[in-house]
Amino acid sequence: FAPIINFDAALDIAMYFYPVPAQIVLKQLVNKVGNLEAEVSADRERGMPRDPLKETALQDIERLRDDLTTGVEHFFQFALYVTIYAKNEKELDVATEQIENMFGSKLVYTRRGFYQTEQGFNSSLPLLNDELYITANLNSSPCASSFPFISADLTSDNGILYGINRHNNSLILFDRFSMPNANMCTFATSGAGKSIKADEPVLIKDKDGVRLEKIGQLIENLGKKYGYETLDEEMEGVIDPGISVYTFNQYLKGEWAKVTVAARKKAPKICYQFMTKSGRVINTTGDHNMLILRKGRVVTVKSDEVAEGEFVPLARKIPEPENPTQYLDLFFLLKDNPKIYLEGAGEFIEKNYQTLSAYGGSIEEGKRVKINPQFDRYLYKYRQERRIPIKYFWQILNYLKIEPDQELAEKIKICSCRNKKRKDNILPSKFKITPEFLRILGYIISEGTIGENFVLITNKDTEIKNDIKYCLKKLNICYYLRDGDCFALTSRVFVELIKVIGADGKSGEKKVPPFIFNLSNKDAAEFIKAYFEGDGTVEKHLISATSKSVNLVSDFSYLLLRYGIISRLAPRNKKATNGSASGIYWYLNISGQENILKFVQKINFVSDFKKKRLINLLDKKENTNVDVIPGIQEIFEEIYYLFSPQLYGIKEISDFKNGLRNPSRERLRKTIRKIEERIEYFKNLNKKFGLLKTLPSLSSIIENGRNDQKLNSILWQELGGSWRLMKNQKVSPRLKNVLKASEVINNQHVCSGELKQIIHFGFKELGLSMKHFNCSLATALVNRPDGNSGYQMIYEAASHIWRNYQKITSCLSQIEKRLIQLKFLANSDLFWDPITKIKKIENRDEYVYDLTVDNEVFLAGQAGLFVHNSYAIKLEVLRSLMVGTDVIIIDPEREYKYLSDAVGGTYINISLGSESKINPFDLPRPKGEGEVNVTDLIRSTVITLKGLLKIMIGIPDQQGVRRFTPTEDSLLDRALLECYAKKDIGPGCDLNKVEVPTLSDLQELLEGMEGGADLGERLKKYTEGTFSGLLNRPTNVEMNNQLVTFSVRDLEDELRPMAIYTIVNYIWNVVRSELKKRILVIDEAWWLMQHEDSAKFIFSLVKRCRKYYLGVTTITQDVNDFLLSPYGRAIVTNSALQLLMRQSPAAVENVAKTFMLTEGEKYLLLECGVGDGIFFAGDKHAAIKIVASYSEDQLITSDPRQILEIEKAKKEFAEKSAALEKPSVEEPPAMEIE
C-alpha cells in the first residue's frame, strides 16, 4: 500500500481487523478442500486439461489449514476504507480512478460507496467505529503486509548504528547483545576480480586516438611511463592512466569509459580459455568475472563457474573516432631510422650554426661541441642544404632543446641519401593519408611481401593491377613489374614507412597497422576493401577472407564492428596457394543478410566481378538462427501465464515460451510491439467493463428502496406488486425489474440487452468458461439475449468478469516490466555468442593484467569479447570498538589490515614462513577462581583435535567426506590422551604452568603404537614435510588488544581450512578463559563449510558462544555453498541477526527460500546498489541503507585510489611536521651579561 499512502492527495484511510476463531475457519476450510479435490478429480476423470488455478488454490488452502492447526497463522476479517478529498468533482473522479487502479495493481478489488456514503465517511474517521462492516477474510501474513504505516522498529536507546531504514528513513540503531544470541550472518555477492593474460588485445582510446594493443604491453608501458603504485600485497598498478576502453552501460549500450586503474598481479598457474561459436577466444584467470546472459539478465559469474552453452556478449558496433587521423608524422615516426635523411634542413642549421660549432671550453683547449662525432664534421655541408640523417637532426634538436614546430615540419622533406633524381624517394614530413595510400596498404597486407629493401605486391587480376598502378601514380611511387603480375617498389622512404607503421611481418605474424583504428569509417573502408580484394572471396552464402595470421583476422573483426558488421572466425587446415605445405589458416566470415548488406553499402569491393557476385548474395534468404536473443524462455512463460487470453493469434510466443527457438532482434521487437498493442487494447476495455463495476447488488437496491420513503413510493408506482415480492425476497427477481428499480434509485439507465452483450463479450475476451461458471448462463446470453433472465445470475456473472478483468489489469505492470527487460535486449548494442569450449591452460606468464573501469567490463580478447563487501562489517567493527567491545577477525584476504593499522590493532599473520604460531593442542586457561575440571577440558580438546586431524589426514569417502576407520579413530583417541598424560597434564595440575604437547609428540606416539604407523606416516607431512612450520610449534601469539586480526591470506588453499579451524579453536579457548563482551568475525566462512568437521565445530561454537558473551559474525560470498551445507543452514537459524546484501541471480532463489523473502524483497537484493540490503533482527526486518561518515570511510576503505591518496596525505603531513620541528635558522649564541 506504499503507493496509496504516498499518493499526492488528501486521504483518510482506516483499517479494521476482527479476529476469527480458528475452529470456525478450519471447519470451512475442510469443506472447501473437499469440494476442490472433488472438482480436480472429476476434471481428471473427464480427461480435461489440468487447471493450474484450482491446483494452486488447493495447495494454498491445505497450507493455510496446516498453519492454522499448528498456530503458525491466525485468521481475521479485514476491512479497509478510504475517503478521498478533492477541490472539485472532476479532480475527485481523477483521483478516485487513479487510486482504484493502484489498488487493482495490488489485486485489491474496490467498490465505491454510492449508497452508504455517510457510513463510509464515519468509518474512515479515527473513531474506532466501523459502520459498514464490509470485510474480507485474511490470515496473518497478508494482514501484516497490509499494514505499512510503520516499518519494523529497529531503533533502541543503546547499541550502534547499522544504517538507515529505507522504508521510513529512521535509524537502525541496535544492540546485538540484547538478542537471545549475538550471532550474525552476512551474505553478499562475490568480488569483482578481472584479470586476463598479457597477450589478449584490448581496444583503447587515449589522446592520440583509438588503437588495438595487447593488454600486457599496454600496462607495462604505462608502468614505465608513470611508475607503479602498490595497491595491495598482490597487486600494483597505475592510477588514472589517461586511457579509456570500450564498454557497455547498465542500459546495454556501448560507450567509452575511463580507466581508473591499470594493474598487474602475479599470475596463477592455471588460466581458463573460452572459445565461442563465432571464433572468439579469451584467456582469463579463475576469479575473473565473465558476463553471461541468464534468464534474460546479464549476470556476473566467475570464470570457473561458467558452463559451455552459456551466452557471452559481443560488441555489435564500435563508434567512429571523434578526431580521426588524417596525416602520418613521418618526421617523428622515422626519427630513429639510420637509412632516412632530411631535405630542406639547411636553413635551420645555418640559423643555429654558431651554437652548434662553438667551443665547449677555451679555444686553446680545442674542445668543440660534440653531438655525434660521425656527423659533426659535416655541419658546414648540412648548412649548404646537403641531406642530413634524420637521427642526427633529432640529436641536434635535443641538444638545442628545441621542440619541432609546424613551420619546421612544413619546410623539411623525408628522403634517402641516394639517387636524388628519383622523386619517389622524397615524401613530405606530414604525409596525408589518402584513399590511394590506404588501398595500397590493403593490397600489401593481403598480397604483399616486404624485404629489407623492397615491397612486392602480386595480383593477376587486370582490374586490380590497374587500380594498383593508379594508386602508385597518385602517390608518386615508382615501381617496375616482374613477370607481369608482381609490382616491385624500391623507394627507400616508402619501404621504411611501411615497416614503421607495422605493416611488415611474415604471413603468420601480420596485423592491421595500429593507426588504421583511428581513421574515419570512410577512410578505413578503403583499406578493408583492398584487403578483401586480395585475401577475400565471395562464396555461395557469405563473404570470407583467409589468412595464416590469427591476429590479422582478429584485428579485422574489430574493424568491421565500426560498420556494425559481426564477423566469425574459424580455423581450418589447408594448403597454401603458393606451395604444397599445409597448416592452420584462419577464416574471417561475414554472413547474414544484415551484415552482407552493410558490407555492400559501407565497404564493398574494388573489382566489378566481386561486386556483382556480392549483389547476388543479397537475394538469398536470411537465416535468423545466428543473431538471436537467447535465454528469454522464462520471461515469455511468465508473460503468457499472466496474459494468455489476450495473446491469441501471436503464434511466435508459443515457440518462445516453449524454448523451440530464440527470436532475432527484429522479430523480438515486433513481438513486443504486438504485446504492447494488446495491453493498450486491454486497458481501454475499462470503459466497456465499467458498467459491470457499477452494477448494484440486489441487497443494496432493496435496502435503499425500503429505507427511503420517497423512493419506495416511486418503486410501487413503477413496479407495482413486483416491488413487494422483490422487497420481501419472496421470489428471485428478474433482470428487467431489478434494472428498473436500479434506475429509480441510482438515476442510471441500463439496457438489459447491452448488459448481456458486455458480459458475453467479457467471457470471450478474458478466456473464461461460461459452462463452468454457470450452466444456464450460456442460454441466457447466447440463445436469449433479449430474454428476462434472473438478476442474481447476471449480477454474479458481471462481478466475475470485473474481478477477472481487475486481476489481469493488476498484472499489467509486471508484464510491462518484463517487456522493458526484453526491449533492453532487443535494442542493446550487444550480440550474444554461445561458448562452445572451455579448457584449463597452463600459464607461463609472470603477470596477469586488469583494467578497472566504471562499468566493470571492457572489450578484449581475440576478435573482441566483453570481459568483466565487507564494508558493512568493517563499519560495525569500527563502531563496536567505540563502545568498548573487543573484536577478533579472521581475515582470509587481508582486507582488514588497513583498518587494524588505523585503530592501533594487533595484526597476526599466520603462514608457513611467519613467526606467529598457534599450537592446536592448547588448553583453555581459566583466569577465574572457580574450580576447573581438567579431565573435561582434555576430553573436549581431544574431540576438537580429532576433527582437525580428519581434515588433515583423514581419507575421503565416496561422498568426499574425510573420515577415519573405527580402528584409526580409537587409536587416535588413545594417542591424544596419552600425549597429555606424558606431559603430566591431568587432574589437579596448574594449567598456567604446564607445557602442552605438539603434533610431533603425537606422531612419535603413533609410530610406537601397534597399528599407528600409517597414521604417523600421514602426519609427517605436517611435522617434517612441506607443511611442518604451520601447526607444529608452541603458541607465541597473544590476544591482549581490543582489535586482533588473524590473516591467513598467505596460506595455500589446502591449508586454509585447518588453519582457520585452529585459529577459531584458539580464540574459543581465550573466550572461555575470560568472560568479556566480544565479537568474532569469520570472513569467507564457506572455507569451513567445505569439511564436515570444521562446519560442525563452527556450528557448535555459534550455539554455545552466547554463554560467554560472544557474538559470531559469519560472512560469505559463496552463498550456495554455505546454505547447501546442513551446518550452514543451522548457523543461519542460530543467528539472531542477518544482513543480506546484493545477490547474484544464481544464489537469490536459495536465499529467498531460506529467508522466506517476498518477490519485492528478492528483486531488491538483485537490483540494489552498493551498501543496500535487508537487515534482519529476530522476527523483524527492514530494507537498509548502510551509511558511513567521511572519517569512517577513510578508515575502512578498500579502494586502491583512496588508500594511495590517504598514504600520500600522511606522507605530506609527516614531512610538514618534520619541517616545523626543525628550526629554520641557526639560533644565535647566548650573550654574556656582566
CB contact at 8 A, 355 and 348: no
Question: Do the beta carbons of residue 850 and residue 264 sit within 8 Å?
Answer: yes
* pLDDT given for residue 1231 in this prediction: 40
Residue reference for cell 598514504? 1207
Per the CATH hierarchy, to which homologous superfamily does domain 201-316+835-867 belong?
Answer: Hedgehog/Intein (Hint) domain (2.170.16.10)
Q: pLDDT value at position 866?
A: 45
Amino acid making up residue 557: S
Would you call 249 helix, strand, or coil by DSSP? coil
Q: Which residue has the cell 573460452?
A: 274
Strand-pair category, 1043-1047 with 886-891 = parallel
Mean pLDDT lowest among 152-161, 539-548, 824-833: 152-161
Work out the average pLDDT over 561-587. 77
* pLDDT score at 392: 93
> Among 410, 268, 399, which Cα is nearest to 345's?
410
Contact partners, residue 300, CB within 8 Å, separation at least 6: 189, 190, 192, 289, 290, 291, 292, 856, 868, 1144
> Based on the number of CB atoms within 10 Å of its own CB, is 1067 exposed (0-12), middle (13-18) or buried (19 or more)?
buried
Most confident of 169-178, 468-477, 576-585, 1056-1065: 468-477
Quick one: what percent of the chain has pLDDT higher than 90?
11
Please name the residues in contact with 762: beta carbons below 8 A apart, sequence gap of 6 or more: 689, 692, 768, 801, 804, 805
For domain 156-191+870-904+1078-1198, give its CATH number from 3.40.50.150, 3.40.50.300, 3.30.379.10, 3.20.20.80: 3.40.50.300
Q: According to the model, what pLDDT value does residue 440 have?
A: 93
Q: Which three cell numbers, joined as nine digits, stand for 1082?
A: 569469520
Residues whose CB is less than 8 angstroms from the CB of residue 244 and which lie 6 or more positions away in sequence, other chains included:
204, 205, 206, 256, 257, 258, 259
What per-residue confidence (pLDDT) applies to 487? 93
pLDDT exceeds 90 at position 874: no
Confidence of residue 319 (pLDDT cuts 50, 70, 90): confident
In whole angstroms, what is the distance from residue 1057 CA to residue 1221 CA? Answer: 50
User: Does pTM surpass 0.75?
Assistant: no
Element housing 640 (H / E): helix 633-643
Mean pLDDT of the chain: 82
Does residue 569 contact residue 279 with C-beta atoms inside 8 Å?
yes
CA separation for the pair 969, 554 (Å, rounded): 60
Residue type, 588: L
Neighbour order of strands in the sheet with 886-891:
171-174, 160-165, 1180-1185, 1172-1177, 1137-1140, 184-187, 1110-1116, 1078-1082, 886-891, 1043-1047, 906-909
Counts of helices then strands in the chain (DSSP H, E):
47, 45
Which of 892, 910, 920 shows the shortest CA–CA distance to 1023? 920
Q: What is the pLDDT of residues 592-602, one digit of tens each?
A: 888 888 999 99
Could you report the per-residue pLDDT of 447-496, keeping only the tens digit for each?
A: 889 988 899 999 888 999 999 999 999 998 888 888 878 999 988 899 99
Confidence of residue 867 (pLDDT cuts 50, 70, 90): very low
Q: Give the model's pLDDT for residue 868.
A: 39
Residue 926: beta bridge partners? none
What is the per-residue pLDDT for 149? 45
Say what the pLDDT of residue 871 is: 73
* Residue range 947-972, pLDDT digits in tens: 888 888 888 877 777 888 888 888 98
> What's the pLDDT score for residue 675?
92
Question: Which residue would you say has higher pLDDT here, 420 or 1010?
Answer: 1010
Residues 6+ apart with CB under 8 A from 654: 660
State residue 929's pLDDT score: 47
> Any residues with CB less than 8 A from the CB of 588 and at least 6 apart, and which?
544, 545, 546, 547, 553, 556, 557, 567, 568, 569
| Joined grid coordinates for residue 205 | 582510446
Identify the band that residue 1229 occupies on the pLDDT scale cut at 50, 70 and 90.
Answer: very low
Which of the four pLDDT bands, split at 50, 70 and 90, describes residue 573?
confident
Average confidence (pLDDT) over 521-537: 92
Model pLDDT, residue 435: 94
pLDDT exceeds cutoff 80 at 714 = yes
What whole-number distance in Å separates Cα of residue 818 and Cα of residue 244? 33
- Is 605:532 a contact under the CB 8 Å cutoff? yes
Q: What cell was used for 542? A: 557469405
Fold annotation for 321-326+433-623: Endonuclease I-creI (3.10.28)
Q: Does the structure show a pLDDT above 50 at 1230?
A: no
User: pLDDT tens digit string along 64-108?
Assistant: 888 788 777 788 888 889 999 988 888 888 888 888 877 776 677
DSSP β-bridge partners for residue 456:
449, 488
Mean pLDDT, residues 1206-1231: 62
Which cell numbers hold the place of 846?
609472470
